[in-house]
Structure 1
Amino acid sequence: MAHLHFTQQLSRFLDVPTVEVAAPRLRAALESAFVQQPRLRGYVLDEQGALRPNVLIFIDGARCRERRELDDVLRPDSQVYILQALSGG
């Protein structure tokens, strides 16, 4: 099963443990995580379902290819890291 790891920044707002999912693509994996924690969707995706500008996703060490479709292929043992980019001065 693929493992989704959410940044500790999100843990300030909601419970975001590592989620194990059996999903062939990134979008399906995220949707599975949102079923377990519905409020998480608004922190990760915008109103059109695309990745928010301040969110980065890495799959097995490589940045996800596409921010709107989120159709990157996952292996059964993929490690997916969902991070909020930090900004400010």
Structure 2
Amino acid sequence: MLPCPFKYFFKIDCPGCGFQRSVITLLQGECAKSFELYPPTIPFLLSLVMGIGVSVLKMDPNAKWLKAMYFFTGFVVLGNYLYKIIFHQLH
């Protein structure tokens, strides 16, 4: 596993901390455990695949559904980070 430089310097998790463990767990077929480790994993991976698909298929990169997917993924990442900071690291 790659160490997190943000956590090393600032002593708190970064918005992506847990992603590596979550992806490995997802690849092992443990979806629920993957979600517990890092909830944004599946939306992030879906957004990544759809973004690559749009590029490869020469579709409109400004499509509203794609922007909505990116916005939703960002919202989940931010929400997860705030939850982690408020309820896990302050206690």
Same fold (TM over 0.5): no
Considering fraction of residues, name the structure with more helix: 2
The TM-score, its normalising length taken from structure 2, stands at 0.24
TM-score (structure 1 length as normaliser) = 0.24
Structure with the higher strand share, 1 or 2:
1
Q: Which has the larger radius of gyration?
A: 2
RCO (CA 8 Å, sep 6+): is it higher in 1 or 2? 1
